[in-house]
Chain A
Amino acid sequence: MTTTVQPGTGTPADEPQKVRQSKPGSGAGSATWPVRVGLLILCIAWVVPALGMLVNSFRPRDDQFSSGWWTAFFNPFNSSWTLQNYSQALTSPAAGIPMGQAFLNSFIVALPATVIPILIAAFAAYAFTFMKWRGRDLMFIVIVGLLVVPSQVAFVPLVKLYGSLGLNGTFLAVWLAHIGFGMPLAIYILRTYMSGLPTAIIESAKIDGASHFTTFWRLIMPMSTPALASFAIFQFLWVWNDLLVALIFLGRGDNTVATVALQGLQGQTGAGRELIPAAGFITIIVPILVFLALQRYFIRGMTSGAVKG
């Protein structure tokens, strides 16, 4: 195209042609049948594994081991169903401790490990965005670099340090670890968001004599809610789903979290094996609900360009 077409100068014949050309390739509702079928198959393939576990979690022990879950799924009226796996998984210590207890422990670990870093990171992000200080840019570069550094770098010394402080196996040990490991991402997400806020408002607050502390609480925090929410969801899912940190710093005791308990149950060969699907469902239901309810914030956080190591 060498000629630039100005709006309104196109001949009437151009118009229908343009519409027809833009339709077949792209645009909502333009999918051909092979595409629809392909996507349907993909969806089914994506859901089938989880469906299998869900079905099995309601089947009695003997059924689970004598036939595949699909036999019950396709003959729901000729199969026996039970809730016993759930009641047993929640109360019996087959996984070391009852899943009910482990489930509660997961909350005890995940909630403070989500809320406290947000507060610390929000203050820091404010300083990185709205204050000028020596070393600020270098410090932030370090934080950006740390985004990709795996938390494994910290484990060897921390296990030793925690051992000498008697912290291994305590909730405090995991909270602190998650606060530290989640901090670079938290600061990064919040600072990216805050630097997009209109500076005029902050300037006028300064002219009105508001201190940084007031500006932070009254203006910046309320305005940053979307970013705070996306990080909160990230961190909550990350902590809830974490296995390694919980395994190393909490181990298998009264404070065991759901993921570790479920992993312990997987190793069972005899009694308790029928509880695995139910225990699995108990472990994944919270993140799934959080995710479905707050998908919007989660996606917004992801598309903000954050990379986490």
Chain B
Amino acid sequence: MAIKLVNAVTAIVGGIGGAVIIFWILNKLAESLKGRWEDRVKPWMFAGPAILAIAVYLIYPAIVTIEYSFANEDSTAYVGVKNYTDLVTDKTFLSVITNNLLWIIIVPALTVVLGLGVAVLTDRLRPRGEKLTKTFIFLPMAISMVGAATIWRTIYDYQPEGAPQTGLLNAVLGFFNRAPVFWYGTSTLHLNSLMLMIILIWTQVGFSMVLLSSAVKSVPEDTVEAGRIDGAGERRIFFNIIVPQIWPTVITVFITVLIGVMKVFDVVYVTTNGAYNTDVIGRRFYDELYTQGNNGYAAAIVVILLIAIIPVLIYQVRHFRQEEAAR
């Protein structure tokens, strides 16, 4: 134990110290160069290590992943588009896509709506009440999905009929003389997927609330006032005056949650491990890569995910350019 602690401290000190020394040496080298060359080389010395990290850990692997998606399971021979045709014709994979679509449709929208609701309503509390309420709603954001799934066992737990129920939902059903439900195993109307989505929403609403709350607070009071003077009701003021002004933030929150949901993995892996028709792309990818050891399928799944993310990526870049232009 003590040795491990020492190792950790050594790693931190060594890592930081090493990085500083490298930058210092690079800088000295750049300063020894004269005039224009110094100005040309120095930026690359400052940004170089970061660019290298991004190249090695994101750009290069992404390219290799695309290559592997056309290769066999241990990436030793090309198989053309076989991985893709296999996946597209695989019934289980199609249900994975369907489930993921459900997550994408339900979770970001609900997270935004709930977050906005809490943001607007807490805005009317006194500062202390507002802060306390927000902390409660916000706290799950700090918790890992594994932790959240552990926590939600106290709600979703199932014991066979007749046995004392240890999950709150089934205890409530028992109180009304109803038979207990095995929540994670009930795929009728995707009930179990919905139950898992609730766990994710529980951790995400705080994030949505904080962003939307600061947006709502920055809506100029005179625009709301002008609406009142013109005789608009609370509802019209909300939908016609407040919502349009906070719309950019709504989009930001929506997209952030959307990206998280597209690659959702932890919550499904920990609770059902994809059984009972709850599987999603992120978990299936892990399964192909790690359990089945099929690099070709795993890579093809990632490429499909990447293609699905391209619209978001384009939006992100365009949005950034607009913001830069507005500076």
Q: Are A288 and B139 in contact (CB under 8 A)?
A: yes
Q: Are B49 and A104 in contact (CB under 8 A)?
A: no
Give bound CA distance, A178 to B315, whole Å: 25
Nearest-CB residue, chain B, relative to A136: B43
Give bound CA distance, A153 to B310, whole Å: 13
Contact of A183 among B50, B118, B256, B305 (CB under 8 A): B50
With A35-B121, A53-B151, A56-B154 in contact, is A150–B53 under 8 Å at CB? no
Could you mark each residue 158-179 of chain A with 1 if its beta carbon is under 8 Å from any beta carbon of chain B, else 0? Answer: 1110000000000100011101
Give bound CA distance, A65 to B290, whole Å: 34
Q: Are A104 and B1 in contact (CB under 8 A)?
A: yes
Point out the residues of chain B lying under 8 angstroms from A175, CB to CB: 11, 15
Give bound CA distance, A182 to B184, whole Å: 33
Q: Are A29 and B144 in contact (CB under 8 A)?
A: no
Q: Is B79 an interface residue (CB 8 A)?
A: no
Give bound CA distance, A195 to B326, whole Å: 13
Contact of A266 among B140, B144, B150 (CB under 8 A): B150
Q: Are B137 and A108 in contact (CB under 8 A)?
A: no
Q: Are A22 and B228 in contact (CB under 8 A)?
A: yes
Give bound CA distance, A91 to B68, whole Å: 43
With A28-B126, A48-B168, A68-B166 in contact, is A43–B137 under 8 Å at CB? yes
Nearest-CB residue, chain A, relative to B227: A25
Q: Is B302 an interface residue (CB 8 A)?
A: yes
Nearest-CB residue, chain B, relative to A126: B46
Quick one: which of A98-147 are within 8 Å of B by CB? Answer: 101, 104-105, 107-108, 111-112, 115-117, 119-121, 123-124, 126-128, 131-133, 136, 139, 141-147
Q: Are B46 and A119 in contact (CB under 8 A)?
A: no
Give bound CA distance, A147 to B306, whole Å: 13
Q: Are A27 and B124 in contact (CB under 8 A)?
A: yes
Binding site secondary structure of chain B: helix
Q: For A64, A139, A292, A307, which residue has the most chain B Cβ atoms within 10 angstroms?
A: A307
Q: Are B118 and A139 in contact (CB under 8 A)?
A: no
Give the segment of A80-88, A198-206, A222-230, A240-248 that binds chain B: A240-248
Give bound CA distance, A147 to B123, whole Å: 31
Q: Are A25 and B46 in contact (CB under 8 A)?
A: no
Give bound CA distance, A153 to B281, whole Å: 13
Could you mark each residue 141-183 of chain B with 1 if its beta carbon is under 8 Å from any beta carbon of chain A, else 0? Answer: 1111111011111110000000011111001000000000000
Q: Is A197 an interface residue (CB 8 A)?
A: no
CB distance from A173 to the nearest CB of B (A): 11
Nearest-CB residue, chain A, relative to B127: A28
Q: Are A46 and B313 in contact (CB under 8 A)?
A: no
Q: Are B43 and A133 in contact (CB under 8 A)?
A: yes
CB distance from B266 to the nearest CB of A (A): 5
Give the segment of B56-64, B89-97, B187-195 that binds chain A: B56-64
Give bound CA distance, A29 to B12, whole Å: 48
Q: Is B42 an interface residue (CB 8 A)?
A: yes
Point out the residues of chain B lying under 8 angstroms from A179, CB to CB: 53, 57
Q: Are B265 and A154 in contact (CB under 8 A)?
A: no
Point out the residues of chain B lying under 8 angstroms from A145, CB to CB: 313, 316-317
CB distance from A129 to the nearest CB of B (A): 10
Q: Are A153 and B12 in contact (CB under 8 A)?
A: no
Quick one: which of B28-59 are within 8 Å of A by CB? Answer: 31, 39-40, 42-44, 46-47, 49-51, 53-54, 56-59
With A183-B50, A276-B153 in contact, is A153–B11 under 8 Å at CB? no
Point out the residues of chain A lying under 8 angstroms from B321, CB to CB: 141
Nearest-CB residue, chain B, relative to A128: B47
Point out the residues of chain A lying under 8 angstroms from B150, CB to CB: 53, 262, 266, 276-277, 279-280, 283
Contact of B54 among A132, A184, A266, A309 (CB under 8 A): A184
Q: Are B285 and A152 in contact (CB under 8 A)?
A: yes
Give bound CA distance, A112 to B123, whole Å: 39
For the complex of A and B, 3 pairs with smallest distance between CB atoms: A180-B57, A52-B154, A241-B144
Given contacts A180-B57, A288-B143, 4 further A-B contacts (CB under 8 A): A39-B118, A127-B42, A139-B47, A180-B58
